[in-house]
Structure 1
Amino acid sequence: MSRPPAWRTTVARLAQPLMAAWPFVMMAVVSAVDLLAGPEYGYLSLLALGPAFASLSGGVRRTLLIGLMALALSLLLGLYDGLIGTRQSALSLMSVTGVTAASALAAIARQRRERELADVRSVAEVAQRVLLRPVPRRAGHLRAAVSYTSASAEARIGGDLYEVVTAPTGVRAIVGDVQGKGLEAVESAATVLGAFREAAHDEADLLSVSGRLERALNRRLSGEEFVTAILVEADAGGTLTLLNYGHPVPLLLRADGTVVAAEPDAHAPPLGLSSLQVEGPSPYQVAFGPGDQILLHTDGVIEARDASGRFYPLAERMFLLAGDDPEEALEKLRLDLVAHVDGPLHDDAAMLLLRAR
């Protein structure tokens, strides 16, 4: 999961007690101004600011308690100013009472919405964690590592997906990205992964596997929804076969440190757009010898921007994957990505690293 930088965490921690203290600060300021200015200016009604701000962060009981404190202050200041029984004092008491009642109702509604939102997010995140199960650390002649960095709270969950399967013909893997966010994206990702996990064991080649994915998606998707994906098959002879459906091009890190983009000869549209009746991708192959690595990733990685708007230079940072342990190496790359953005990502970022042993 992505973590905000230290200064953002510090600000968030300071903001909570400040927000909690704000109603008392406002009532204290209004009381001081009224004592200094005298009764002729009529500041008593402004004591309603206390319960008004209380509903922003506290519960119903706290809001009512602050409202009672505001009423008590209004009576005390009214006595001090000699306004008890006057129209100004009555308006002040009515204002504080009315705002307290409205703030209590607002606090009830806010807490209900927060609970509902927390429940929805919890269900969606659990579904996503169940869907994106850990990949095997060793698959055939490969070692594998995966990294999934969640986006900011606005996006919360997305449709990034990944899987590694050891099939009779070799190791097969997929990384994809479903258009959109939320539970619908998770459901589409589940459709792709379910079809891939089954087809990867049964089908003789990647084209047949992708055909199964396309048929499964066509039953699920409608309109202009789609899924970008890249499928990979690694055989024991040192060859990678790839199928790219409109997905970001993976990068190869050779054993000698050279970085190569595994670019297809021609680009193809994503999965789920069979209604356009366009030709799908052709398989292409790259050499994959001992010590070589391939990084499959979603666009949340290469489209991550820093404060000045610069994209994350993934190819330039591939040297971070040179460590002995693929999981530790991929974690270094993930931390470097988060440091580049210096805050929560705006899109989920999934990375799958395969290394030939």
Structure 2
Amino acid sequence: MTSPAPQPPENGHSATARVSAATAKAAQEKPPGRDARLDNAKFILIALVVVGHAIQPLTDYGPASALYYWIYFFHMPAFILISGYLSRSFDASSNRVEKLVLTLAVPYLIFWTAHQAIYTVERGGLPDSLSVLQPTWTLWFLVALFLWRLSVPVWQRLRWPVAIAIIISLFAATADLGSTLSLGRVLSFLPFFVLGLSLRREHFAYLDKLWVRVGSVLVLGVTAVLAVPISDHLSRDWLFWRDSLTDRDIDPLLPSIGLRLAFMGLALAMTIAVLALTPKRQTWYTSLGAYTLFVYLGHSVVLLILKNTPWYDVMTGPVGLAATLAAGVGLTLLLCTPLVRKCLQWAVEPQPTWFLRQDDNKGLARKEADARKRAAGSGTERERSSV
């Protein structure tokens, strides 16, 4: 036999180029991991949610009121923007919808029942309404996230989704939508969710620029100072994004719409500032950012019970504010611990075995295999008869 001709050695540059191209292709095919900056931001924001709810009964005290306003300027818009960004892959497939039901709808029903039980004990009788379509306290966010995620495919098809969402939000604010499904908040906060959907990973690179970080410090500092006079003169209704603009003391169109736009801009500027100043490296609390739903749902029950104790009668002034802040941060960390998560998992992350009908996949696969065997057998018989 003739030996094959020896091949010339590969050029070093071309080999390196091929290796680099293969590495780049592999990097593109490999799905991106969790973003440490977003996990850090989620933990910071959920801590602010708990702190804001914890200090709410203390807002007759000036510094507590100013801190409450400052937190409410941006904490939910920021959380919603991140939620929108993390919802980009939602395609309304059956598996996605099933997961949506298990992670949002079922926990909603469980904690709605828990809230109503606490209200019943507090009032000494059943509330006026027991409609599950009227979210209790913090549960509006689960309803909103459920509806927003179902609408993701629609927003991804539109040419100007953010502009359309802003228009819907502004017009919705001029109508009295009532408390059913918290539609006022669902539509008012919609632009932040849609903006999050429209963002891409490369957009977050701008947050690392020096001028953005310097501007972020200024934004948070200025808004902290402005929160003091604003907390004395502006109604909290502007912070909740819940009620119609028609029931305010000013005209519901020109001044009110202008104020709503101003609050949108303020919330967006503070959201960008917080994200820019949030570490993008792994920190001691990065892993805790994955457990925000445990904190969000669990803290509501704890604080509802705490409000029916003498805590807020005793905790007043600067000492009460400091103690309540410490309690809020401590509660956030406690709800992230493995033991507490294990105790709450049945309610926060319920398994589908007791809620959804399970298809007999093994039986279906067995039937398909039998059908293929029968088809193959009949084909063999036909071949034999033809021979």
TM bucket, shorter chain: under 0.3
Answer 1 or 2: which has greater strand percent. 1
Give the number of the structure with larger relative contact order, counting CA–CA contacts within 8 Å between residues 6 or more apart: 2
TM-score by length of 1: 0.28
TM-score by length of 2: 0.26
Answer 1 or 2: which has greater helix percent. 2
Bigger Cα Rg? 1
